[in-house]
Amino acid sequence: MNDRYSRQELFSGIGKKGQQAISQKHVLIVGAGALGSGNAEALVRAGVGKVTIIDRDYVEWSNLQRQQLFTEQDAAEKIPKAVAAKERLTKINSSVLVEAITGDAGVQELEGLHKDVDVIIDATDNFDTRMIINDISQKYRIPWVYGACVGSYGISYTIIPGVTPCLHCLLETVPLGGATCDTAGIISPAAGMVVSFQTAEVMKLLVGDLEHIRKKLVSFDLWENQHTSISPGTLKKEDCPSCGSRPSYPFLRYENQTKAAVLCGRDSVQIRPAMKGDRDLERTAQILSKTGGRIERNPFLLSYENSGKRLVLFKDGRVLIHGIKDIAEAKTIYHRYLG
């Protein structure tokens, strides 16, 4: 007798009926870092029918402190995160179908992945991708669970199309910068806490228990012993272009996406943020100064050099990444240091 899920079935919120439902569902995880690997392992152990993981990056030594699916060998061989995750996950539960996609989670990619997805998990490291996920969610009526962490801080929020405010209602615009794990560090318990919030919400969605979905946006700081939850229900906007009465899904349009291009005749990539706006070079310099790289400034731009790559940031938001021609790698570097 196979009692693999017996303890989960004994839990009144799931039961045998809920376990059967879980085994037939498909979860898309965008990102295979700390949040992505943690959610993937929990859901594969829980017996979800199919898990699709998309990530453009490879395993590095600095990942091993918190990204639980990966090994020293993965880092030494620079194995793509999605590939390494699939190899580990299939050893954990061979009955779960795991699909690994090594690539950028852009509009075209997510448009092609949404068709049979029941829930989307945000495990990315930037708001560009999150806003695309948000519009995909609203357009195709797929619930998703937002999550982020840096330092000892974490945040999570469950978004159900037609029911809750969407991320666009809450944020309205994409931030041009902010702290990242590479600039502010991170402790693994913070990532683990966000994973717990996200996975619990996903399991509620998979068994159809909408009554117990957390209605609040929750945030915490484990080091400072702080915990906050707010009810964002009143923030839902009738005229929101993503979830309002006349949605236009702005972040699925080309003009609202981050642009990246290899500069002709130069070993450089230019990245232009989707949203126009002045970048605070002084604040950015303060954030980057924590990474140990070399910083130079003049009234017009900021130059930052680290690990053989040089980033030149302009006040209008543009960034030149020198010493590279691969756009996917350039995006990884961009989001690693600039959020």
Active site residues: 181
Q: How many Cβ atoms from other residues are within 10 Å of residue 45's Cβ?
A: 16
DSSP 264-304: TTSSEEEEE-SS-----HHHHHHHHGGGT-EEEE-SSEEEE
Sign of torsion over alpha carbons 122, 159, 190, 154: positive
Please give the distance of CA 202 from its chain centroid, rounded to a whole number.
15
Q: Could you identify the residue written with the tokens 């731009």?
A: 301
CA distances from 295 to 170, 177, 292, 311, 322 (A): 34, 17, 9, 10, 14
Long-range Cβ contacts of 286-292 (<8 Å, 24+ apart): 287/177, 287/178, 287/179, 287/183, 287/184, 288/183, 288/337, 290/183, 290/184, 291/182, 291/183, 291/337
Q: Which two tokens stand for residue 180?
A: 């990242």
DSSP strand E in 134-206: where?
144-150, 153-159
Q: Calculate ∠ Cα 180-186-192, nearest 5°.
A: 115
